[in-house]
Chains A and B, each alone.
Chain A
Amino acid sequence: MNTFLSPQQIALEPVAGPAAAAVMVSGLTRRFASGPAVLDGLDLHIAPGEFVALLGRSGSGKSTLLRTLSGLDPVTAGSVRRPDNMAVVFQESRLLPWRRVWQNVVLGQKKDEASRARAEAVLVEVGLGHRTDAWPLTLSGGEAQRAALARALVREPDFLMLDEPFAALDALSRLQMQRLVAALWQRHRCAVLLVTHDVDEAILLADRAVVLEAGRIRTDIAIPLDRPRRHTDPRFERFRQTLLDALGVHDD
């Protein structure tokens, strides 16, 4: 049930690391044309059910890593192992405008009488039960992202990738979405890789925050705080400082 994405022989080598890892990336290198390597021998392990936040400056290769993990980009050097059953949510909802919301949710799944009920159940879960029959272009930005989240969840993925899913939302909707994701993750317990620029979001949601820099994970810190987490927690501030330092933001 795990898939190796790798060039020729390299995949056959036993991959070091915890055997139980849901996602295992080893020595992943990616360059575009003749430019410098965007990913440079990157290693990353994610345990089943673990929530990892991926930070890094703009252009550091976060999306490139996600695209490789999701199979959109090829693995040209190194190896990647991840569950077959995975789902991606992008910054834009990427719903099909010509399919109703519930049809978008079950897109690509086997069609049967239960399809609609299944879609509706997930839509209720993400707080979109009242818009199941709506056309996607009539949704607000926040609603569209909820629908995209529902489309990912209905597959009951073992591994969920989120590429700045709330970046385009207003502050209030973003807070609501963060709560929603926290609650959904508590319930579904899939491995999550969340790309974000928001340090607070990372600390609020993740078990671990990793910072991508010059093609590798340079910072990897556990965030062992109890849930639900609050911004007012004094330890929150410590993590924020550590991560901001790792991102090269200093307030001097």
Chain B
Amino acid sequence: MFETFQPSAIRAHALTADAVSAFLPMRSRLPRWRDISRYVSPLALVALWQVSCSVGLVSTRLVASPAQIAVTAWSLLRDGTLEANLGISLLRAALGLSIALLAGVGLALVSGLSRMGEDIVDAPLQIMRTLPVLALVPLFILWFGIGETPKVLLVALGATFPVYLNLHKGIRTVDPKLLEMARTLGLSHGQTVRDVILPAALPDLLVGVRYAVGVAWLMLVVAEQINAESGIGHMMMDAEDFLRTDIILVGLMVYGLLGLLSDNLVRGLEAWLLVWRPLSPRRGDGA
């Protein structure tokens, strides 16, 4: 696409980092060098970590070595401990997130689409939003005991706010010009909501969902470490008693991977639901 390099062909909007690097002659001779180079520094750090542990610079009682972590992860996988705990954690997160989505979307629709709904719903939610949800943990344990309920509800509560706030904002900030257009075309109220307001608010909803997923993992970590008999967090707390830093670090990595995966999942959802949004301005022109 950029074989013939003509400076005059550079368009202002095309000057993103990637587009610029596409002009570099190195690109054709060393393809994907940039992609590889991004991993050099993290890999070097891991190597340094391993060496420090091997030569005894860092006590393995405080931090396990990368090799040890790999071995432990493998054995946890083989005896099924990791899968079982991961399954439980995933289930709690999924359940909590589903409740959050239902509640957040429902409340945002009520307060976004009607003045009265906003008066009733918005003020209490704005007040509750300022409370640190984690401070509710003792209360939740008192109310719901130590079973699954308080864990799932903690996730649900924390994840509801980002969904509600973003969707509410999305509904309230629909371009008034589009609403006027809907009126001149004679769209009914229902049609306007369905064809104009909700699609316009969808990008904001998806931003909210991405935040919600992040919050859900955060809530889960805390919930599982306080009072649980299963789950990744429980596995880590158990390991603490036996000074097994390798298991703790495996748990940490699993949380990291889960966060990364779920974020990519939502991004994928975004790309699929928002196909109408060109990736770069005016991509469809064949520029």
Partners in one complex: yes
Contact with A along B158-185 (1 / 0, CB 8 A): 0000000000000000000110111111
CB distance from A177 to the nearest CB of B (A): 19
- Give the contacts of A127-170 with B (CB-CB under 8 A): 134-140, 151
**Are B285 and A140 in contact (CB-based, < 8 A)?**
yes
**Are A98 and B199 in contact (CB-based, < 8 A)?**
yes
Other-chain contact of A107, B180, B185, B200 (Cβ < 8 Å): B185
Chain A's closest residue to B187 (CB) is: A108
Q: Are A71 and B282 also in contact (CB < 8 A) when A94-B177, A96-B195, A97-B276 are?
A: no
**Are A138 and B184 in contact (CB-based, < 8 A)?**
no
Any chain A CB within 8 A of the CB of B132?
no
**Are B191 and A108 in contact (CB-based, < 8 A)?**
yes
Residues of B within 8 A of A (CB): 177-178, 180-187, 191, 195-196, 199-200, 202, 275-278, 282-285
Any chain B CB within 8 A of the CB of A92?
yes
* Size of interface on A: residues with Cβ below 8 Å to B: 22
List 10 extra interface pairs beyond A96-B178, A96-B199, A135-B284, CB under 8 A: A92-B177, A94-B177, A98-B200, A98-B202, A98-B276, A99-B195, A135-B278, A136-B276, A138-B283, A140-B285
Other-chain contact of A138, B180, B202, B284 (Cβ < 8 Å): B284
Q: Are A87 and B187 also in contact (CB < 8 A) when A96-B199, A98-B199 are?
A: no
Main secondary structure of the interface of B (DSSP, over half): helix
CB distance from B126 to the nearest CB of A (A): 29
- Give the contacts of A98-141 with B (CB-CB under 8 A): 98-99, 107-108, 134-140
CA distance A219 to B181 in the complex (A): 30
CA distance A90 to B278 in the complex (A): 23
Q: Are A96 and B196 also in contact (CB < 8 A) when A108-B186, A137-B277, A138-B284 are?
A: yes
Chain B's closest residue to A103 (CB) is: B195
**Are B186 and A138 in contact (CB-based, < 8 A)?**
no
Any chain B CB within 8 A of the CB of A20?
no
Any chain B CB within 8 A of the CB of A196?
no
Other-chain contact of A137, B180, B191, B202, B278 (Cβ < 8 Å): B278
CA distance A70 to B184 in the complex (A): 7
CA distance A96 to B196 in the complex (A): 7
Contact with B along A194-226 (1 / 0, CB 8 A): 000000000000000000000000000000000
**Are A135 and B181 in contact (CB-based, < 8 A)?**
no
Chain A's closest residue to B183 (CB) is: A72
CB distance from B14 to the nearest CB of A (A): 15
CB distance from A96 to the nearest CB of B (A): 7
Any chain B CB within 8 A of the CB of A77?
no
- Please name 25 pairs of A and B residues whose Cβ atoms are closer than 8 Å in the assembled complex, sorted by A: A72-B180, A90-B181, A94-B177, A94-B180, A94-B181, A96-B195, A96-B196, A96-B199, A97-B277, A98-B199, A98-B200, A98-B202, A99-B276, A107-B187, A107-B195, A108-B182, A108-B186, A108-B187, A134-B284, A135-B275, A135-B278, A135-B284, A136-B276, A137-B284, A138-B278
